[in-house]
Chains A and B, each alone.
Chain A
């Protein structure tokens, strides 16, 4: 099994390496919105001293950490897999003795992540020099704790994204559904603003939803803004959602596969 992943990694990496120019453009595209929010909120915090207890430096560390965490927990399964259901190229993968989504698509996601992190490093360094955040509260222990939360976050986001992509077995409009999902994620994950600034109703809902594991929780752990019991509580929540996402994915996959009949000659 390990050898399958190893080989897939080599192939996928080589494949994606060709598109590195596109990747830079993608990075730029994806980077602008957090940087704009950072600029806006730092301006407000500087004018007033602080916003709801958050200083300009708190915003700088929040959004700059978010850039890295977001890259680590996000998934692109719909890009990598959606079309295979529609054009029938899934058939070739189905006859292999390994799960198409849990091997090929997973490795595709990971290779993309590794490559875009590589591209992010210089950009992040420039942003660091421009905003000069003070990362004094970060400790090694926090980083290690966050690693587990990031792992949970990616696990959940990958499985939910995969389950959603499997809706392609039923309808060709899976993209619109995905955009709706992306909208919900943005609202409850802390992408716009730290969740503590959101209206109370959204904050309460976010406490029970898995989306804060994608961004807000790992960022808060890294920045040392959570207590031990809080961290453990989030781990429990993350594990519960990981299990739920796994069951959902298994169910949608097997039901969808029964409906699948390849198109084309």
Chain B
């Protein structure tokens, strides 16, 4: 399988890059733990003053924080480094070489750069999710847990598709190199259940920049608030968005004619 060999090669290159900056990684991990402390402190302050937030208890919000951190890792470890690389390669024309490779161009553009030292973050996120579930004491039903896992993936696919569409727009508007800032900017809304937000903000994070689909919705499934058809609907939306995004990407690549003269 050429794709597997490609993944192996990318992992090796990225590992070498990560090892070159060991001290930086340690400092970043320390800073990240500090922010985790602040996040938990915020939750403590909130629940010192209220029993539930929009009907959600402290355990569920810790689990939500875990899911939020998963999305955040996707953003920081995959989306940012590859976007930076992509923007540079559009500007200086080196995208040509990526497009000429005999593999799926989308795969090369979106997965060639990975910030490997962030690998510990998803582990921490899973611990947070498990601890949150334990804290809420509900002990999710297996079916809800399955729906949760499926929807976390579906949410990630939706955000991935939005990202593809955003970077593909660079083919039409070359100066559009702020392409993912909008995604990053609204990410912070994922820390809390979208159900407590005022309607306008809920509409934005559900339909326009669907952060909530990757954070609040999976948690709702875990709480058993979603019916089977609804889970299927979200899954369908994620597949549809991936298809639309690949179409936009293909059109974009066809328009692309290199940066050189």
Instruction: List 26 A-B residue pairs with CB atoms under 8 Å apart, sorted by A's residue number.
Output: A22-B178, A25-B181, A28-B182, A29-B181, A31-B185, A32-B186, A32-B188, A35-B201, A39-B197, A40-B46, A40-B192, A43-B54, A51-B49, A52-B49, A130-B200, A173-B24, A176-B24, A180-B31, A183-B31, A183-B34, A186-B38, A192-B38, A192-B41, A192-B42, A197-B49, A199-B44
A115 proximal to B (CB < 8 A)? no
The residue that B50 contacts in the complex, of A42, A51, A192, with Cβ under 8 A, is A51
B184 proximal to A (CB < 8 A)? yes
B243 proximal to A (CB < 8 A)? no
Closest to A24 in B: B178
Rounded to whole angstroms, the CA-CA distance of A101 and B27 in the bound complex is 27
Rounded to whole angstroms, the CA-CA distance of A35 and B192 in the bound complex is 12
Q: Is the CB of A44 within 8 A of B189?
A: no
Contacts of A52 in B (CB 8 A): 49
B69 proximal to A (CB < 8 A)? no
A95 proximal to B (CB < 8 A)? no
**Known contacts A36-B188, A176-B27: A44-B53 contact under CB 8 Å:** yes
Q: Is the CB of A183 within 8 A of B35?
A: yes
Interface size on B, residues (CB 8 A): 33
Secondary structure call for the B interface: helix
**Known contacts A25-B181, A25-B185, A40-B196: A180-B49 contact under CB 8 Å:** no
Contacts of B45 in A (CB 8 A): 192-193, 197-199
**Known contacts A47-B50, A130-B200: A36-B27 contact under CB 8 Å:** no
Interface size on A, residues (CB 8 A): 32
B142 proximal to A (CB < 8 A)? no
Contacts of B184 in A (CB 8 A): 29
Q: Is the CB of B31 within 8 A of A28?
A: no
Residues of B within 8 A of A (CB): 23-24, 27-28, 31, 34-35, 38, 41-42, 44-46, 49-50, 53-54, 178, 181-182, 184-189, 191-192, 196-198, 200-201
Q: Is the CB of A40 within 8 A of B53?
A: yes
Q: Is the CB of B196 within 8 A of A173?
A: no
A21 proximal to B (CB < 8 A)? yes
Closest to A27 in B: B185
A35-78 interface code vs B (CB 8 A; 1 in, 0 out)? 11001101110011001100000000000000000000000000
**Known contacts A52-B49, A192-B42, A198-B45: A176-B28 contact under CB 8 Å:** yes
| Apart from A25-B178, A32-B187, A48-B49, 5 more pairs, CB < 8 Å | A28-B185, A31-B185, A173-B24, A176-B24, A199-B45
Rounded to whole angstroms, the CA-CA distance of A264 and B46 in the bound complex is 52
The residue that B185 contacts in the complex, of A29, A173, A183, A187, with Cβ under 8 A, is A29
